[in-house]
Amino acid sequence: MLRRFFQLKSWPFVVAVLFIGGAALAVLGSRSGAAGPSLWSGTPPTLASGQTQWVAVAKADTAAVVNISTTQVVKNPMASDNPENPNDPFQEFFRQFMGNMPRTYRTHSLGSGFIVRPDGYIVTNNHVVDGATDITVKLSGSRHFTAKVVGRDPKTDLALLKIDAQNLPIVTFGDSDKLQVGEPVMAIGNPFGLEGTVTTGIVSAKGRVIGEGPYDDFIQTDASINPGNSGGPLVNQAGQVVGIDTAIVSQSGGSVGIGFAIPINEAKTILPQLEAKGHVTRGWLGVSIQPMTGELAKAFKLEPDHGVLVADVLPNSPAAKAGLKTGDVITEYDGHAIAKAGDLPRLVSNTPIGQSATVRVLRDGKPLTVTAQIATLPESEQVAEATPAGGKSLGLTVQPLTPALAKRLEVPDKAGLVVADVADGSPAADAGIQPGDVIVEVNRQPVHTVAALRKAIADQKAGEPTLLRIHRKDASLFVAIEAPRAPEG
């Protein structure tokens, strides 16, 4: 299956995310033994008589690449009783000629991943498992396991899974910063469900921005990547993982020799957090930026391709407290030159929370240096495992309400949590919670942070409903979410 990821300006080319994903964990063991805290440095596989280098790499790494199949509940837009479009004439048409159709249905998809620790930790793309109700991992051979999501990060499209197994073969990490354009690479995965497929090519480019998010920094390769490869490893001639196959550019949905992989060095900084707490905490400066184009540079009387332009400074943010202003041009962050717009978000996100960073700017053409104390990025978080013992998730994804969000959603600019997503078939969906609702109270207590929401839900007695007070545009109402049932058996 293929999911549209980004549409290029020259239609009909699209960059598509493949349902097959992967990444890597920064706490690995050796290739064969028990788990350990350090990365396995990796050496080129030993060549047997008559073997080529790629034969040895394929034999060494394929055993650690897995097939991931998922089941997902999807809303049926043609459902005859779809409450979102009660007066849709097409619904009446389908009701007359095809009868009532179910409001939801189940879909199945395939993807890839790779084992990074012998005790069953597996990396894949977030889009492979996003919204999945069931996840099955098939190892090389015939063994199947039910997997659980340990953590995921939609912003970098990475997810970490766990299966109950021991002494598994693993892949090892290389250094994606050392990759050179023209260097040979191999993609391993399950394109179109064909297990254990390997394709070779070269690194076509580095640092590609394809519109996936604020942290785009993709490796481009001409190694054939197709639907089903997402999450599979991109390896070098030493058999080390240097990237995670994630997306393609295609007219037909198949490979045309333009594929993209997440650099493994980016995954190394993300995956330990996913293992430890299930999500990623990032640094936050609090500015909106845009590229310094030739036209803008001329208007600001600056050299083109010189830094990034500050389009907005959020109130009470680290940037505002440091004295940054709209119209400043950021040229350097914490000793790193800012050559393009994507450089700044990555550098800020990797800055430890509470650490001070020097920011060099041009203001009205004159150089200026300020110091900002980096805070925590307000990110969406899944309210998971925050239910009474034995219960399931309420199915809510929330994020703090900012003034900009309040204006866009047409709700009062007050403290609260915005519902970013509601899982299909979840208790929250059954209660009528909608994306864009603002949660202001839980069980008659004000709630301002995700942590407070988690605690309020976790502290309530098992079996009791969760009472939310929400704002929806100009209305305020109470909603009771029935406690999710514990799994049987």
Q: What are the residue ranges spanned by the domains of the chain?
A: 1-277, 283-376, 381-481
Give yes or no for a contact between 68 and 109, defined as CB atoms under 8 angstroms apart: no
Pairing of strands 172-173, 240-250: parallel
Give the closest residue to 265 by CA, choosing from 335, 327, 176. Answer: 176
Give the closest residue to 29 by CA, choosing from 112, 91, 135, 119. Answer: 119
DSSP letters along 175-193, please?
A: -GGG--TT-EEEEEE-GGG
Q: What is the pTM of this model?
A: 0.67
Domains 283-376 and 381-481 share a fold: yes
> Which residues on adjacent β-strands are paired with residue 381?
398
The architecture that CATH gives domain 283-376 is Roll (2.30)
Take residue 451 and report the two structure tokens written for it. Answer: 């942590």
> Which residues on adjacent β-strands are paired with residue 287?
313
Give the closest residue to 327 by CA, choosing from 357, 361, 374. Answer: 361
State the catalytic residue, choosing from 204, 230, 250, 255: 230
State the catalytic residue, choosing from 61, 130, 153, 157: 157
Q: Output the tens digit of pLDDT for each of the chain's 489 residues.
A: 333 333 222 333 344 444 333 333 333 333 333 333 333 334 556 666 556 789 999 999 999 999 999 987 666 655 555 555 555 655 565 556 555 556 666 677 789 999 999 999 999 999 999 888 899 999 988 899 999 999 999 889 999 999 999 999 999 999 999 999 999 999 999 998 888 899 999 999 998 888 777 788 899 999 999 989 999 999 999 999 999 999 888 777 778 889 999 999 999 989 999 999 998 888 999 887 888 878 777 777 777 667 888 887 888 889 999 999 988 999 999 999 998 888 898 899 889 999 999 999 999 889 999 999 999 886 554 443 333 333 456 778 887 777 666 776 676 666 788 887 777 677 888 888 888 888 888 888 888 777 778 778 777 777 778 888 888 877 778 888 876 654 333
Give yes or no for a contact between 164 and 176, defined as CB atoms under 8 angstroms apart: no
Is 230 among the residues known to form the active site? yes
State the catalytic residue, choosing from 61, 80, 112, 127: 127
CATH number among 3.30.1490.20, 2.30.42.10, 2.60.320.10, 3.30.70.270, domain 381-481: 2.30.42.10
Is 279 among the residues known to form the active site? no
DSSP character at residue 315: T
Q: Fold for 1-277, please state it.
A: Thrombin, subunit H (2.40.10)
> Which residues on adjacent β-strands are paired with residue 472?
475
Is 157 among the residues known to form the active site? yes
Whole-number Å distance between alpha carbons of 45 and 236: 11
Give yes or no for a contact between 188 and 62, defined as CB atoms under 8 angstroms apart: yes
